[in-house]
Amino acid sequence: MKSFTYERAETLEQAAGIVAANAEAKFIAGGTNLLDLMKLEIETPRHLVDINHLGLDRIEETEDGGLKIGALVRNTDLAADVRVRRDYAVLTRALVAGASGQLRNKATTAGNLLQRSRCPYFYDPSKPCNKRDPGSGCSALEGHSRTLAVVGTSDHCISQHPSDMAVALRALDARVNVMSARGGEKSLTLDEFYRLPGETPHIETVLQHGDLITGVTLPKPVKGVHFYRKVRDRASYAFALVSVAAVVDEDGREGRYAFGGIAPRPWTAGGEARAEGGASVIAARALDGARPTGENVFKLPLLERTLKAVLKDAAQTSGK
């Protein structure tokens, strides 16, 4: 860990200003990912600006019947919120499928969105990794890639996004609220928020240095049966090999779907959460253009079959 300085910001504007003015500064919220990466010198900020205690820890109802979730709402609190459990159960289920109780107590909504790759080569500073060390190459392409992405990848990076929460948010068409360092607010869909790796896998979002996520907005609830199905080798405390977030209409013909474990960002079938048809059709659209490795090609049938299981459960739940 490189030595660093720390300060607690007094206001959001001050926090953004400090970071914007210092190329080596970063925000710190829960720290559950950043501190680990700092210990390995994968992240090396020289100045940390603490944005806890700035009032971003509230969940409020919006005028159009949705919810505005503050950036600093802890994963535990978000999962337990009665409105989330009632109207956005897929989000609660995704949250509690991730990490451990201790981590969820600390981890924040914005931090969860911004958590970084779990590719083993990203975590190994002595190995080439375009995400960690741009231009050094990708060790995973011809290496250990069993857990990595199969779609949305590039020749420069095949890392998958590790979040469960973000997959549920994608299914719900949530928007990320960003306070720009240069003033003004932006509201971005997750597809707008996350960048695909292309030739610059180290640039993971459209955030500019100093931009601050203030929260996430959920549109008004949609009717349907909520599922978060996470498939992994062990029953808990592992990242998804494949996950499916789904809100399936009562009649089972349509639903909203997002997929985790297969792509550099929460993924959908053809760029829209809303989709209709059977599991094979939806999975095929989601996996259009997939470029799996020999080690992770199993994710293709696994995604389809997981979706099949979800749709079967949805039909049973709806009594069809």
Q: Which residues bind another protein (CB under 8 A)?
A: 1-3, 39, 41, 118, 120-121, 123-124, 126-127, 139, 142-144, 146, 231-239, 241-242, 298, 301-302, 305-306, 308-309, 312
CB of 70 to another protein, least distance (A): 28
Nearer to another protein, 39 or 209 (CB): 39
Rounded Cα distance between 89 and 101, Å, is 18
Q: In what order do the strands lie in the sheet with 212-218?
A: 59-61, 67-70, 212-218, 175-179, 185-189
CB of 101 to another protein, least distance (A): 11
Nearer to another protein, 249 or 313 (CB): 313
Site of tokens 């349509």: 254
Give 114's Cβ-side CA count (13 Å radius): 29
Do the beta carbons of residue 156 and residue 198 sit within 8 Å?
yes
CB of 277 to another protein, least distance (A): 18
Structure tokens at 153: 């990848």
CB of 297 to another protein, least distance (A): 9
Nearer to another protein, 196 or 238 (CB): 238
Nearer to another protein, 125 or 270 (CB): 125
Rounded Cα distance between 317 and 320, Å, is 8
Nearer to another protein, 83 or 118 (CB): 118
Structure tokens at 230: 């996470």
CB of 296 to another protein, least distance (A): 8
Nearer to another protein, 219 or 277 (CB): 277
Rounded Cα distance between 87 and 243, Å, is 20
CB of 30 to another protein, least distance (A): 17
Buried b (16+ CB within 10 A) or exposed e, 302-314: bbbebbbebbeeb
